[in-house]
Homo-oligomer: A and B are copies of this chain.
Amino acid sequence: MTSTPDTSPAESINASSQPSDIEIARAARKRPITEIAAKLSIPEDAVLPYGRDKAKIDRDFLAGLGAPKGKLVLVTAVTPTPAGEGKTTTTVGLGDGLAQLGHRVAICLREASLGPCFGMKGGAAGGGHAQVVPMEEMNLHFTGDFHAITSAHNLLSAMIDNHIHWGNALDIDVRRVTWRRVMDMNDRALRDVATGLGGPGNGFPRQTGFDITVASEIMAILCLATDLEDLQERLGRIIIGYTRDKTPVTARELKADGAMVVLLREAMQPNLVQTLENTPAFVHGGPFANIAHGCNSVAATRAALQLADIVVTEAGFGADLGAEKFFDIKCRKAGLSPDVAVLVATVRSLKMSGGVARTDLGTEDAEAVTRGCANLTRHLGNLRGFGLPVVVAINRFDGDTEAELAALRDHVEALGAEVHLCTHWADGGAGAQALAARVAELAASDEVNFTPLYPDDMGLFEKIETVARRIYGAEGVDADAKIRNQLAEWEAAGFGDLPVCMAKTQYSFSADPSLRGAPEGFRVPLREVRLSAGAGFVVAICGEIMTMPGLPRHPAAESIGLNAEGEVVGLF
C-alpha cells in the first residue's frame, strides 16, 4: 500500500501538444472569489477571504441555511494504475459540464498535503482544462487548515507528556501511549523516535514517532464533524493510550479538547475556490484514504448541498476502497444520501487489469481491455448494490485507440449500463456535457434507493467480513485470536456500532497488489485493528500502512524555487 495520497494528476501522462497543467492554470481567467460565492447566493459578508482567490465561508451563515436540498453525485473509479484514472479531473469536468448546462452546481474536493510536494511533484487539483485554481496555493499552505490540524494534534501530544511529567495523576502507561505526533512533511527519520531524553527536566523518555498530518485522527475527525460542538465531542473521545491496567485514557480526561477546538475553529469552515471555468469548488479536508476514510469534509459537502442544486464529489482510490467508505462511513454517519455514482474508467487501467505491464500500456491491446473489464464489472455491481444509478465515464487519454475505446464501450453496454466518452481534459466542461446531461437527469429522477452495506448493529468482525466478501469478492477473512478478542473487547466497551475503515492495497480487490482484474478464491488477511474513537470507526488493516512517507533520492524540493518573475518553478 502506498503512503502517498492518491491525488497524482493522471493526465500528466497525456502527451499532447497542450500546454502543461501549470501553464493552463496560470492562464486562467479567475473571477473574484466573492463573485464565485455569489453564484451560490453566498453574500459578501459571509465570504472570509484568504488572499485574492481563496475564501472560507462563515459558519453562522451556513448554520442559518436549513437542511441540505441538493443532489449528490459521487465520482469513483475502477482499480487504478499507479498514476490514477483522473477521478478529480472528471469531477471537475463534470461540474463544469453541469454549469454549462445551466445547473447551479458545486464541486467538493479534498485538500492536498504539503509534505509530499517536496518528494514527488505536487498534485494538481484536476488536470488539463479541468482544474481547480489557484493551483500553487492549494499545494502549499492554502488557508492553513492542515497547519491547524498539526497544531491541535501536537498540543495533545505535549499535554500527554506534560501530564506524565507532573505526576501522572491519570496513571498513563508510558509504554502504552498510542497518540503520536504529526508533521506535514515527508521525513522518514521521524517515524520512530525516542523523546524525553536529556534528564528529568525533559520528562520521561519513551519511544514514539511522527505521522504525516493527513494521517492524523484529527484530520478524519475534522472531516466527519458536523459542527464545533460535535468536533469537540469527537476530540474529547480520542483515546491517547492506556493505563497500566489497560483502561483507555481520553483527550477529554487530559482536558485538551477545548484548546484543540479553539485551534481548529477557523479550519472547520469550508474553503471556496473555483475551476478554470469559474465553477464554485469547495476544497476542504484531506484524510488519508487508507487509515482514514479519504473523502472531503462533511462540513463542505453539507454546505454545498445547502447552496447548490447538484454537488459533484469524489472518494479516494478505486470504488472498492473510496466509494465503500464514502457510503458506509461518511454518508451513513452524516446522514447524506447520494443520488448518482459515476464510475471512471480508462483504457489504460483496464489494460492493466487485463494483465498488461505498466511499461507496455502505450501499446494498443483491445483484447486486454476486454479481459480487464471484469474489474469494471465487479465495481459496477458493487455500486448498484448500494442502490444507486451508475454511469460509466471513460476518461479519454491521448494514446487510446478507437479499437480499445470500442472494446470498453461494448463491454459496458453489454452489461446494460450507460457509458459516456469524456474529453474534459482537452476540452474542459464541454468535453463532459453528455455525461453531465445524463447525470443531471438521473439525479432528478429519484431512481435511488441508497442502502449502506451493513447495519450498525452487525458485529465488528462480521462487518469486516461483509466488506471483504461482498465488495472485494473474497472467500473470507483470516484473523488470529488476538485480533478477534480485541474486536470483542471494543464491542463490550460500546464501540460495536462503529463502521469499519478498511486499509488495503488500491491495486487489487484482494490484499495482494499482484492479483489484478477481478480475482476470485482469495482470502483477506487481517493483520491489525485500530480504534479511532474520535473519528468514529475501527480501522481494519489488511496490509502494510506507511503513515510517514520519506523523500526520494532526488526530492522535488531540490528543483523547487522562484524564477526571475517570482513564479514558483519545479513544484509541478
Contacts and interface: CB of A to CB of B under 8 A. Distances in A.
Interface of A: 48-52, 56, 114, 118, 140-141, 144, 147-148, 150-151, 154-155, 157-159, 161-162, 165-167, 183-199, 201-203, 207, 209, 228, 232, 254-259, 261-263, 265-266, 550-551, 553, 555-562, 566, 568, 570-571
Contacts of A202: 188-189, 191-192
Contacts of A189: 158, 161-162, 165, 195-196, 202-203
Contact of A147 (B147, B188, B560, B571): B147
14 contacts: A49-B51, A50-B51, A51-B266, A118-B259, A154-B185, A158-B189, A159-B557, A161-B188, A188-B202, A188-B203, A192-B197, A198-B209, A261-B561, A262-B568
Given A49-B50, A560-B258, A562-B228, A551 B158 contact: yes
A52 to B, nearest CB: 6
A230 to B, nearest CB: 13
Contacts of A550: 162, 165, 201, 203
Q: Which of A254, A262, A555, A562 has the most CB of B within 10 A?
A: A262
Given A189-B202, A551-B158, A561 B262 contact: yes
A207 B195 CA distance: 10
Given A203-B550, A258-B560, A259-B570, 18 more contacts: A48-B51, A141-B148, A141-B151, A151-B184, A159-B551, A161-B188, A162-B188, A162-B550, A167-B553, A188-B202, A190-B195, A192-B197, A192-B198, A192-B202, A193-B195, A256-B558, A258-B557, A262-B560
Nearest to A161: B189
Given A151-B114, A185-B151, A201-B188, A558 B193 contact: no
Contact of A187 (B161, B198, B199, B265): B161
Contacts of A56: 51
A364 to B, nearest CB: 38
A235 to B, nearest CB: 11
Contact of A158 (B185, B263, B560, B571): B185
A193 B187 contact: no
Contacts of A140: 262-263, 266
Contacts of A187: 154, 157-158, 161-162
B166 A154 contact: no
A190 B263 CA distance: 21
Interface of A is mostly: mixed
Contacts of A207: 197
A195 B192 CA distance: 7
Q: How many copies does the complex hold?
A: 2
Contact of A155 (B553, B557, B568): B557
Contacts of A162: 187-189, 550-551, 555
Contacts of A566: 228, 265
A151 to B, nearest CB: 6
A286 to B, nearest CB: 16
A39 B379 CA distance: 61
Contacts of A158: 118, 185-187, 189, 551
9 shortest interchain CB distances as A-B pairs:
A258-B561, A192-B198, A147-B147, A161-B189, A158-B187, A259-B557, A255-B558, A259-B560, A192-B197
B151 A256 contact: no
Nearest to A568: B262
A259 B561 contact: yes
Contacts of A256: 557-558
A3 B259 CA distance: 22
A458 to B, nearest CB: 36
Nearest to A207: B197
Contact of A144 (B147, B167, B555): B147
Nearest to A560: B259
A261 B140 CA distance: 12
A266 B195 contact: no
B155 A118 contact: yes
Given A48-B51, A262-B568, A561-B262, A193 B197 contact: yes
A186 B202 CA distance: 11
Nearest to A157: B187
B191 A262 contact: no
Given A258-B570, A561-B262, A165 B188 contact: yes
Contacts of A551: 158-159, 162
A550 B164 CA distance: 13
A190 to B, nearest CB: 6
